[in-house]
């Protein structure tokens, strides 16, 4: 039987690499606005690159559905249906991009019947293309990648992030969770500032786990396929099944590591992506003009 998604997969790889040219964006292009909070940044480059990616995909696969980070800010909610759906983060690690911290990724995932078929993450400054396709393994460039085989939490490195919410009680829970994990003790806690790249670090075996509450579907959709295809697990921060729209995600090399970290996570409430509301519609509108 012909492979139904091969063309889409190959095109996603091509377009992610092209979009990765954002690393050459000139300083004058880095016009910053904010979205859900004063630290949730968006630049004109995010909007421009998303337009380029969605424009190219629409030209080729016009009947598909598109969920893009910046267009979602404009629309307000993203509903995942059974239709073939592209889930795109044009610049994952916008804060890094603005500050010249060299971890920025383009993340493109594709889902059908609400199941992720493939994910592509181009880590622009490292110039590494991570990809995974359901049932067909995970790769960094052309090299096959696997998660770490370490199941000893005390010999592990865990990634988490502070995210973009500065609500005091949430920040306290994040800090307390980090402290508890550190005191297990683990070898270390890290964070690249891009969820997509963090997930690729799990997939390639550089760290054992990554979790975050407050991320969005476009930050983690592609990484979820890559981690699973590299032999890892992706679940909710309470150990339940992964829900792409829940804004919560845990991924690890092994369920034992995931469950041990989960014991230390102080969960706090977060909106769902399918209930998203616009906080600053005027700015989002201006950027899209």
Q: Output 6 or 71, the one with its CB closest to ligand IPD.
A: 71
Q: Is 89 annotated as a binding residue?
A: yes
Q: Which of 8, 45, 85, 89 binds ligand IPD (CB under 6 A)?
A: 89
Q: Which of 12, 140, 207, 215 binds ligand IPD (CB under 6 A)?
A: 215
Rounded to the nearest whole angstrom, what is the least distance from the CB of residue 140 to ligand IPD in the complex? 19
Rounded to the nearest whole angstrom, what is the least distance from the CB of residue 90 to ligand IPD in the complex? 8
Q: Which of 50, 117, 208, 219 binds ligand IPD (CB under 6 A)?
A: 219
Q: Which of 163, 217, 224, 237 binds ligand IPD (CB under 6 A)?
A: 163
Stretch touching ligand IPD by CB under 6 A, among 142-150, 192-200, 221-229, 233-241: 192-200
Rounded to the nearest whole angstrom, what is the least distance from the CB of residue 95 to ligand IPD in the complex? 6
**Partners of 86 in the beta sheet?**
66, 110
**Is 195 near ligand IPD (CB under 6 A)?**
yes
Enumerate residues 222-281 that contact ligand IPD by CB under 6 A.
none
Q: Which of 20, 93, 223, 232 binds ligand IPD (CB under 6 A)?
A: 93
CA distances from residue 25 to 44, 88, 100, 203, 283 in whole angstroms, order as listed: 10, 19, 11, 29, 21
Rounded to the nearest whole angstrom, what is the least distance from the CB of residue 198 to ligand IPD in the complex? 7
**Is 214 near ligand IPD (CB under 6 A)?**
yes
Q: Output 249 or 252, the one with its CB closest to ligand IPD.
A: 249
Enumerate residues 94-113 that contact ligand IPD by CB under 6 A.
94
Rounded to the nearest whole angstrom, what is the least distance from the CB of residue 249 to ligand IPD in the complex? 10
Question: Using CB under 6 A as the criterion, what x/- string covers residues 54-73 for binding ligand IPD?
Answer: ---------------x----
* Cα dihedral 246, 286, 47, 4 sign: positive
* Cα dihedral 145, 65, 56, 29 sign: negative
Angle of the 281-288 helix axis to the 44-60 helix axis, nearest 10: 60
Q: Is 92 annotated as a binding residue?
A: yes
What would the 3-class secondary structure string for the chain be?
A: CCCCCHHHHHHHHHHHHHHHHHHHCCHHHCCEEECCCCCCEEEHHHHHHHHHHHHHHHHHCCCCEEEEHHHHHHHCCCCCCCCCEEEEEEEECHHHHHHCCCCCEEEEEEEECCEEEEEEEEECCCCEEEEEECCCCEEECCEECCCCCCCCHHHCEEEECCCCCCCHHHHHHHHHHHHHHHCCCCCEEECCCCHHHHHHHHHCCCCCEEEEECCCHHHHHHHHHHHHHCCCEEECCCCCECCCCCCEEEEECCHHHHHHHHCCCCCCCCCCHHHCCCCCHHHHHHHHC
Stretch touching ligand IPD by CB under 6 A, among 7-15, 156-164, 225-233, 237-245: 156-164
Q: Is 69 annotated as a binding residue?
A: yes
Which residues lie near ligand IPD (CB under 6 A)?
A: 69, 89, 92-94, 161, 163-164, 193-195, 212, 214-215, 219
Which residue positions form the known binding site for Mg(2+)?
69, 89, 92, 219
């Amino acid at each position: 039987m012909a492979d139904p998604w091969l063309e889409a997969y190959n095109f996603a790889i091509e377009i992610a690499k092209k979009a990765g040219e954002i690393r050459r964006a000139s300083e004058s292009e880095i016009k910053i606005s904010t979205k859900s909070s004063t630290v949730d940044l968006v630049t004109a480059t995010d909007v421009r690159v998303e337009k380029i990616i969605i424009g190219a995909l629409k030209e080729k696969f016009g009947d598909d559905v598109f969920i893009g980070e910046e267009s979602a800010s404009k629309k307000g909610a993203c509903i995942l249906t059974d239709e073939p759906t592209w889930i795109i983060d044009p610049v994952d690690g916008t804060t890094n991009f603005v500050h010249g911290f060299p971890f920025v990724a383009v993340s493109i995932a594709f889902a059908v019947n609400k199941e992720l078929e493939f994910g592509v993450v181009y880590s622009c400054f490292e110039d590494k293309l991570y990809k995974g396709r359901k049932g067909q393994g995970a790769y960094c460039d052309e090299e096959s990648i696997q998660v770490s085989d370490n199941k000893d939490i005390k010999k592990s490195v865990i990634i988490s992030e502070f995210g973009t919410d500065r609500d005091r009680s949430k920040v306290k829970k994040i800090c307390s969770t980090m402290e508890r994990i550190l005191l297990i003790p683990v070898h270390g806690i890290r964070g690249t500032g891009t969820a997509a790249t963090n997930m690729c670090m799990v997939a390639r075996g550089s760290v054992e786990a990554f979790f975050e509450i407050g991320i969005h579907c476009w930050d983690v959709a592609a990484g979820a396929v890559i981690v699973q295809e590299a032999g890892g697990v992706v679940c909710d921060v309470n150990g339940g099944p992964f829900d792409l729209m829940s804004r919560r995600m845990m991924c690890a090399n092994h369920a034992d590591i995931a469950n041990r970290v989960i014991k230390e996570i102080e969960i706090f409430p977060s909106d769902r992506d399918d209930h998203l509301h616009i906080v600053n519609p005027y700015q989002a509108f201006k950027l899209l003009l």
